[in-house]
């Protein structure tokens, strides 16, 4: 059975040493976050992940969710008890406002803790993750009356949340949706329609489920301009704020699927279900985007989570499995063969995964702190810069971390040879579970289009200029520092490739938008590589500085410097061929007639 240990030391190094969380002390929620308190929180979260959530991961996958004859949905054995532990420990509302009974801590903490929970048990982690997204959307856009009904219950974890966008004929293109909303005399709405693929749509973990539902009000315009957002509880809420009678919301069936079997993916039927409008009529997508952006970051974290869990297990296996001898002579002559970790190809695989994981975690910390800054700073200039960063990096994180996260689970499975294909080792579960983050919350092709079509040109390219400007300044600041050359020189080349590809889009894609569509996935991955390379350069700088001051753990620093060098040597050069692909445009792929495929 696979094992998992939360990388607490990594998280703390990033928060304290690389991104200096101290600098945010004046922001709400950051005031008391001393290194000791941070350490206590992450140690505790890591314990919960390793001791409570991980042991029910494989069994949860094998057992799955069930629909009983009475239509109710059950989660796998152990999920209810584990959820109660999570809820009673206050983990669901760690970053919810104190006014709603939450702990008011930065969202960064929740995001990083969710990495541990999803590494331990991806399917389980989604129940609380969706509640946090629903809470965020309601907190920004709901009326006080609606908030008074739902916020405390979501923050405490007593009730869970969902997002209901997808319909049978309508996935990416939300303008096609048909679910209907009819105004009632009391100002509420009655919602009717069918949604499919709804994660955590129904289950036995909470007494009520708060559905955020996109629907079209009678007479609203066609397309996305006629879409509104509603909150529709599974059970109505009585005058005292308690769950009362049922509300015309039922789970029609459970989807049979490839992975995340412990999460109930439901067909949801809304039959004159009573709900309330969130935000303005016909501006539902704007309101839903609060939840979708939260969820995109959460899904990006899932990509890292499964990659980390797969890596940890592959390392254990590579140390234990005895096959063949080292190319440079036996390293363990007393054994029948050397462990496979002596072989360069196995090391290439393990270092590829780990050098990605550590930089991906840094990218998440950097962006999560910007997200908190964007929401909590009173300084309008800092707020705008942080929002720009968040908006630009969200599709990159979602697309790159989940694409690479999946690739990494396959690579880790390969370390096991045939045993990776056999269920009991748990590696094939990681592969199956890691597949869905590439698809939901906007398939990764759509993330690439969002980056190229919307995020790059926004505000005259302001966010991109700031991003490249910061990297350029860092490279310049370390131009004469010999120890930093292995990190900044390859980064400089990669950033030049990214700049050249951006320029190519500017010169060619306006005239022919297919060029942008054809190059967008390569561009997104170039963006990811440059971002991850920059994270390595920053981590390397801190390690070198701490080493020169005789501070910290020498082995930890040396390992990091090796991993950063490996990433710069083996991964960053990928920007060169991706740039060529972008610059080759769309002609060969667009010329063939559709009926010739
Ligand atoms: C397990 C699971 C859980 C889910 N959970 C939820 C949930 O909780 N709530 C919810 O609302 N939905 C959920 N979904 C739905 C998910 O978000 C959608 O499946 C996803 O957004 C893609 O929509 P689609 O499946 O209709 O694909 P389509 O929109 O039909 O897309 C098919 C392919 O075409 C590409 N494509 C589409 N349009 C374009 C375009 N304009 N340009 C280029 N390429 C394009 C896409 O990238 C994709 O590769 C879930 C799905 C699954 C499988």
Of the candidates 439, 429, 438, 423, the one whose C-alpha atom is nearest the C-alpha of residue 409 is: 429
Pick from 440, 455, 470: which residue ends a domain? 455
Q: Dihedral angle at the C-alpha atoms of 426, 432, 437, 442, nearest 10 degrees?
A: -170
Q: Is residue 96 part of a domain?
A: no
110 close to 94: Cβ distance less than 8 angstroms: yes
Phi/psi at 110 (nearest 5 deg)? Answer: -60, -45
Tell me, using a 6 A CB cutoff, whether residue 124 lines ligand 1. Answer: no
- In this structure, the number of other CB atoms found within 10 A of the CB of residue 77 comes to 11
| Closest residue to atom 24 of ligand 1, CA basis | 171
Could you tell me if 496 and 440 lie in one domain?
Answer: no
* Residues involved in catalysis: 441
* pLDDT for the residue numbered 295: 85
Residue 291 has pLDDT above 80, yes or no: no
Q: State how far the Cα of 208 lies from the Cα of 276, in Å rounded to an integer.
A: 16
* pLDDT for the residue numbered 288: 84
Q: State how far the Cα of 264 lies from the Cα of 74, in Å rounded to an integer.
A: 8
Note the helical H segments in 75-213: 79-88, 107-120, 122-141, 144-156
The alpha carbon of 289 is separated from its chain's Cα centroid by a whole number of angstroms, namely 15
Could you tell me if 388 and 510 lie in one domain?
Answer: no
- In this structure, the number of other CB atoms found within 10 A of the CB of residue 493 comes to 17
14 close to 39: Cβ distance less than 8 angstroms: no
Tell me, using a 6 A CB cutoff, whether residue 399 lines ligand 1. Answer: no
pLDDT class of 272 with cuts at 50, 70, 90 = very high
Number of independent structural domains in the chain: 2
Question: What CATH number does residue 390 fall under?
Answer: 1.20.140.10
Q: Is residue 340 part of a domain?
A: yes
Q: Is residue 425 part of a domain?
A: yes
* pLDDT for the residue numbered 42: 98
Say how many Å lie between the CA of residue 531 and the centre of ligand 1. 26
| Closest residue to atom 23 of ligand 1, CA basis | 171
Could you tell me if 510 and 547 lie in one domain?
Answer: yes
Could you tell me if 508 and 376 lie in one domain?
Answer: no
Could you tell me if 424 and 325 lie in one domain?
Answer: yes
Tell me, using a 6 A CB cutoff, whether residue 509 lines ligand 1. Answer: no
| Maximum pairwise Cα distance, the chain | 83
* pLDDT for the residue numbered 255: 95
What are the pLDDT digits (tens) for 409-439?
999 999 999 999 999 899 999 999 999 999 9
Could you tell me if 390 and 522 lie in one domain?
Answer: no
Mean predicted confidence (pLDDT) in 495-511? 97
> What is the 3-state secondary structure of 493-517?
HHHHHHHHHHHHHHHHCCCCHHHHH
Pick from 455, 481, 497: which residue ends a domain? 455
Compare 2 and 537 and report the one with higher pLDDT.
537
* pLDDT for the residue numbered 294: 79
pLDDT class of 289 with cuts at 50, 70, 90 = confident
Q: State how far the Cα of 459 lies from the Cα of 247, in Å rounded to an integer.
A: 44
- In this structure, the number of other CB atoms found within 10 A of the CB of residue 502 comes to 19
pLDDT class of 559 with cuts at 50, 70, 90 = very high
Residue 104 has pLDDT above 80, yes or no: yes
Residue 495 has pLDDT above 80, yes or no: yes
Domain extent, residue 380, equals 288-455
Q: Is residue 328 part of a domain?
A: yes
Tell me, using a 6 A CB cutoff, whether residue 79 lines ligand 1. Answer: no
Q: Is residue 157 part of a domain?
A: no
Say how many Å lie between the CA of residue 431 and the centre of ligand 1. 19
Could you tell me if 346 and 361 lie in one domain?
Answer: yes
* Best of 439, 444, 449 for a ligand 1 pocket test (most atoms within 8 Å of beta carbon): 439
Mean predicted confidence (pLDDT) in 502-506? 97
pLDDT class of 287 with cuts at 50, 70, 90 = confident
* pLDDT for the residue numbered 3: 95
Q: State how far the Cα of 420 lies from the Cα of 387, in Å rounded to an integer.
A: 42
Say how many Å lie between the CA of residue 362 and the centre of ligand 1. 28
What are the pLDDT digits (tens) for 28-59?
999 999 999 999 999 999 999 999 999 999 99
pTM across the whole model: 0.97
* pLDDT for the residue numbered 186: 94
The alpha carbon of 447 is separated from its chain's Cα centroid by a whole number of angstroms, namely 13
pLDDT class of 187 with cuts at 50, 70, 90 = very high
SS3 (DSSP) at 589: helix
Q: Is residue 555 part of a domain?
A: yes
Residue 589 has pLDDT above 90, yes or no: yes
Could you tell me if 374 and 515 lie in one domain?
Answer: no
If you average pLDDT over every residue of the chain, what do you get?
Answer: 97
Pick from 404, 435, 455: which residue ends a domain? 455
What are the pLDDT digits (tens) for 320-344?
999 999 999 999 999 999 999 999 9
Tell me, using a 6 A CB cutoff, whether residue 156 lines ligand 1. Answer: no
29 close to 108: Cβ distance less than 8 angstroms: no
Mean predicted confidence (pLDDT) in 218-232? 96
Residue 61 has pLDDT above 80, yes or no: yes
Could you tell me if 425 and 518 lie in one domain?
Answer: no
* pLDDT for the residue numbered 1: 83
Say how many Å lie between the CA of residue 281 and the centre of ligand 1. 25
Phi/psi at 162 (nearest 5 deg)? Answer: -145, 165
Q: Is residue 497 part of a domain?
A: yes
Q: Is residue 124 part of a domain?
A: no
Ligand 1 atom closest to 445 (CA): 47
Could you tell me if 473 and 499 lie in one domain?
Answer: yes
Say how many Å lie between the CA of residue 440 and the centre of ligand 1. 6
Tell me, using a 6 A CB cutoff, whether residue 258 lines ligand 1. Answer: no
Could you tell me if 421 and 489 lie in one domain?
Answer: no
Which stretches does DSSP call E strand in 58-97?
66-67, 73-74
Mean predicted confidence (pLDDT) in 125-133? 96
What are the pLDDT digits (tens) for 440-474?
999 999 999 999 999 999 999 999 999 999 999 99
Mean predicted confidence (pLDDT) in 159-179? 96
Could you tell me if 583 and 525 lie in one domain?
Answer: yes
Tell me, using a 6 A CB cutoff, whether residue 442 lines ligand 1. Answer: yes
């Amino acid at each position: 059975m696979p094992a998992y240990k939360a990388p607490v030391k990594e998280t703390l190094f990033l928060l304290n040493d690389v991104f200096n969380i101290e600098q945010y002390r004046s922001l709400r929620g950051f005031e008391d976050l001393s290194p000791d308190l941070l350490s206590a929180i992450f140690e505790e979260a890591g314990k919960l992940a390793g001791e409570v959530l991980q042991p029910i991961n494989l069994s949860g996958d094998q057992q799955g969710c069930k629909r009983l004859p009475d239509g109710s949905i059950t989660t796998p054995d152990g999920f209810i008890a584990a959820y109660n532990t999570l809820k009673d420990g206050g983990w669901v509302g760690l970053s919810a406002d104190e006014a709603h009974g939450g702990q008011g801590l930065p969202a960064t903490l929740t995001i990083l803790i969710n990495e541990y929970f999803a590494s331990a048990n991806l399917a389980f982690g989604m129940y609380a993750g969706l509640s946090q997204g629903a809470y965020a959307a309601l907190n920004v856009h709901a009326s006080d009356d609606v908030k008074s009904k739902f916020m405390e219950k979501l923050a405490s974890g007593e009730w869970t949340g969902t997002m209901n966008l997808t319909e049978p004929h309508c996935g990416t293109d939300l303008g096609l949706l048909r679910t209907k909303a009819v105004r009632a005399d009391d100002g509420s709405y009655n919602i009717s329609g069918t949604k499919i693929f709804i994660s955590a749509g129904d289950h036995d973990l909470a007494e009520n489920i708060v559905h955020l539902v996109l629907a079209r009000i009678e007479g609203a315009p066609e397309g996305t301009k006629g879409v509104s957002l509603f909150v529709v509880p599974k059970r109505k809420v009585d005058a005292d704020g308690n769950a009362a009678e049922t509300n015309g919301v039922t789970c029609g069936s459970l989807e049979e699927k490839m992975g995340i079997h412990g999460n109930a993916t439901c067909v949801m039927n809304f039959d004159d279900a009573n709900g309330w409008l969130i935000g303005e009529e016909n501006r539902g997508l704007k309101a839903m985007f609060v939840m979708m952006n939260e969820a995109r970051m959460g899904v990006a974290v899932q990509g890292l989570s499964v990659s980390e869990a797969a890596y940890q297990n592959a390392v254990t296996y590579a140390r234990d499995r005895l096959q063949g001898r080292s190319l440079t002579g036996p390293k363990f002559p007393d054994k029948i063969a050397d462990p496979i970790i002596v072989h360069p190809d196995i090391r290439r695989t393990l270092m590829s995964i780990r050098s990605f994981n550590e930089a991906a975690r840094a990218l998440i910390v950097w962006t999560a702190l910007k997200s908190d800054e964007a929401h909590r700073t009173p300084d309008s200039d800092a707020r705008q810069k942080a929002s720009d960063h968040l908006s630009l990096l969200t599709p990159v994180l979602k697309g790159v971390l989940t694409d690479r996260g999946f690739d990494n689970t396959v690579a880790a499975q390969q370390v096991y040879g045939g045993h990776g294909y056999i269920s009991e080792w748990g590696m094939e579960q990681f592969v199956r579970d890691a597949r869905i983050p590439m698809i939901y919350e906007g398939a990764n092709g759509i993330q690439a289009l969002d980056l190229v079509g919307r995020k790059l040109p926004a505000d005259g390219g302001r966010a991109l200029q700031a991003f490249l400007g910061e990297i350029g300044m860092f490279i310049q600041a370390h131009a004469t520092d010999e120890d930093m050359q292995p990190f900044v020189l390859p980064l400089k080349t990669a950033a030049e490739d990214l700049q050249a590809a951006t320029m190519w889009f500017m010169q060619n894609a306006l005239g022919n938008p297919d060029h942008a569509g054809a190059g967008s996935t390569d561009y997104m991955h170039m963006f990811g590589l440059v971002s991850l390379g920059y994270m390595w350069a920053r981590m390397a700088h801190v390690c070198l500085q701490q080493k020169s001051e005789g501070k910290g753990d020498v082995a930890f620093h040396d390992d990091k410097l090796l991993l950063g060098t490996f990433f710069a040597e083996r991964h960053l050069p990928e920007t060169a061929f991706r740039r060529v692909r972008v610059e080759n445009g769309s002609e060969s792929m667009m010329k063939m007639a559709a009926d010739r495929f």
